Every structure is written in structure tokens, then in C-alpha cells.
A and B are shown apart, each in its own frame.
Chain A
């Protein structure tokens, strides 16, 4: 069964600092990988996705993520964080065998220090 681990429950960064959120997955074949963001009181919004091809994917709001098969990782990065990035971030995985079903990590809550 596929699984996702987000080892950091809570992260605080200063505005303007760089950000990296970690995500590790467990799945035998090539997974489909996603990052979603959830602002307080809102639903989830897709930031970016990886299906195949270039392992560095660009998303909305200046985010990017890199798929590293050797490390089973799909870490999310942003070079300069804005106060509006404060939210909860979820990594998720799907596969051809799971159809369209997603398995989510437990999330990382990001706080931004002024």
C-alpha cells in the first residue's frame, strides 16, 4: 500500500527566507505526486503535481518541487516566503493501480514570522 510521510508537523520561517517542506513516499512503481495547500478555514488547492518527465516541477505562487526517486522524496521549495504563504501543506500520492485515489500525508503547518 502506498503511504506518505511528512516529518515536520510545524515549521516557522521569517518572511523573505527560503522554505523547504519535506515529503517522503512509499510506493513500488512511479507514483503520481501532489502538493496541496490549505489556508485557514478553506478547502485544499493544488500547488503542483508530478506525473512523469522533468523531475523539477513548477507550481503556482512561486512554489516548486523536485522528485528524487533514489530518496523517495518530493520536497516542496520556495526561495522567498511571503506572509500570505502561512497555511497547511499536504503532500499526496496516487498511482495507476490506485486509480484516482489519493493518499495524503498528515500535513505541515507553516507559520511566517514578520
Chain B
């Protein structure tokens, strides 16, 4: 099993460009999450999806959209990238009733110039 996979690993964008970060999990988990990690701030939740067909905002949703394409896949879209969105993005998944135990992907390092 691959666990949680993310593409791409690295990306450089210019201000105003758009892009989609892809995430997939093969653990049959219902819940999926997108976080951003910035120095000194830990991980902050952007959006999450408790089940296929549902999505909810987390702590820092502004400037992002998500799509839960099916049970396996959860994508994060930046419609008009800004330098403030320079960060490392992590996708995670968990089983319902797992009490919060989440499994993380390797991350995408995004730079917006």
C-alpha cells in the first residue's frame, strides 16, 4: 500500500497563476484533510472532508478551494496564487472513529513569486 500520495512534490508559481494539488489515499479512509505548514506555526487546517461528497472549512480556508472527487482523492486548488501562499502543503487521511489518528502524505513545497 502506498498510503497517502501527493503530487507534485515541488512547484513554483507566479503571482496570479492557478494550480491544483492532488492527493490520494489507498487505506479506504472516509476523512481527508489539507494542511499548510509554515515556520513557527505548526500545521494549520485549510479544509477537510469527513466523507465523500462533503467538505468543510478549516482554520485558514481563504484563497483555496477543494474537491472530494471520490473516496480516494481530495484535491486543493489555488485559483489566483499569492506570495502569502508560499508554504508546504500536507494531505492526510483518517478512518471515521479513528479518534484523530491521521496518516500524512510527503508534502508539496509551493513557492509563489
Contact = CB atoms under 8 A, between A and B. Distances in A.
Interface in B17-61: 31, 33, 40-45, 48, 50, 58
A49, A102, A105, most chain B CB atoms within 10 A? A102
Contact of B98 (A36, A90, A98, A100): A100
B48 A101 contact: yes
A94 B99 contact: yes
Interface in A92-114: 92-95, 98-102, 104-107
B79 interface: no
A51 interface: yes
A44 B104 contact: yes
A94 B100 contact: yes
Interface string B83-113: 0000000101010101111111111000000
Contacts, number: 62
Given A42-B106, A43-B104, A43-B105, A100 B43 contact: no
Interface residues of A, number: 25
A26 to B, nearest CB: 15
A20 to B, nearest CB: 19
A42 B31 CA distance: 21
Contacts of B106: 42-43
A107 B42 contact: yes
B42 A106 contact: yes
A102 B104 contact: no
A100 B99 contact: yes
Interface string A40-52: 0011111001010
B100 A43 contact: no
B50 A99 contact: yes
B107 A34 contact: no
A106 B41 contact: yes
Interface of B: 4, 31, 33, 40-45, 48, 50, 58, 90, 92, 94, 96, 98-107
Given A106-B40, A106-B42, 6 more contacts: A36-B104, A46-B102, A100-B31, A101-B100, A102-B100, A104-B42
